[in-house]
Structure 1
């Protein structure tokens, strides 16, 4: 009887933990751009920042890396994508279905690269509350980390130089 009860308790524990998959989102703005044209490349400082993001993320095994379809976001994501041997998945924040996105990334570790106005809005959608405002034009070091485990959502903003 004790063995059956212990087996049932173990099964129940595994069932509870299996349903509470942890999902972690890392969100960053693209690095510094070369100019103010519509679709600029990264500047030398931006290229250096993209490499630095890769160093910061070195110990994180990303399951998926998302970027908008602009040179500056793709170039920011590329070093980390190459390290993780991951294809960059393009997204359009204006038409993205957040329920579908959350479902498809459930249980994964995800990097999302976007823009000064889209990354805070994306973070707010993932959190389910309006917490973060647009990023100032001169700020490129914000790192938003959002962790979802079941109904529990935690978030933090790290401001890196």
Structure 2
């Protein structure tokens, strides 16, 4: 039931965004659960692989224009099922860059973009997009949040937080 409600919400959002071409939708996720195979750049655990597949199913109906990820295996692997299903490349971004959001907005204005990040960068990006400081760093065991941020201008967005 929860999954059906989430799918309906995302579908409605995609239709609404298409009607308002000046609004860009950012779907922000933290990478899925990581394994312990490498302390510096771990892969996804089996649970993480299942979560990445679940994210793909949830976003299947969304008209996603681009995927962005930090350069780590866990963030790229989180959005890889979406890339495979939609025939998209995963673009690498540096969350320390002051201009990466501006660049994404210029390239994909009025479209939907998925960004895969980390426990600290995902809420930070949501705060930058909304012009607020309302989202705090995620706990080490919280992989379930999806930040849906609609933006006509960076710093003036509105966010909806979902769990999956």
TM-score, with structure 1 as normaliser: 0.82
**Cα distance in 1 for residues equivalent to 2:80 and 2:71:** 12
Secondary structure of the residue aligned to 1:137 is coil
Distance 1:96 1:88, change over 3 A: farther
Provide, for residues 38-62 of structure 1, a one-character-per-residue CA deviation record: whole Å limited to 9, x for no partner. Answer: 1000000000110000011010121
1:147 maps onto 2:150 in alignment: yes
Q: Which has the larger radius of gyration?
A: 1
Q: Which residue of 2 aligns with 1:56?
A: 58
> After the TM superposition, which parts of structure 1 deviate over 3 Å for at least 4 consecutive aligned residues?
149-152
Give the Cα–Cα distance (whole angstroms) in 1 for the partners of residues 74 and 138 of structure 2.
16
Tell me what 1:26 maps to: 27
CA RMSD of aligned residues (A): 2.0
Shift of 1:96: 4.4
Is contact 1:19-1:150 (8 Å) kept? no
Equivalent residue in structure 2 for 1:109, among 92, 112, 116: 112
Gaps of 5+ in 1: 1-17
The answer (yes or no) to whether the contact 1:61–1:84 under 8 Å persists in 2 is no
Q: 1:128 to 1:105 in 2, by over 3 A?
A: farther
Aligned residues: 143
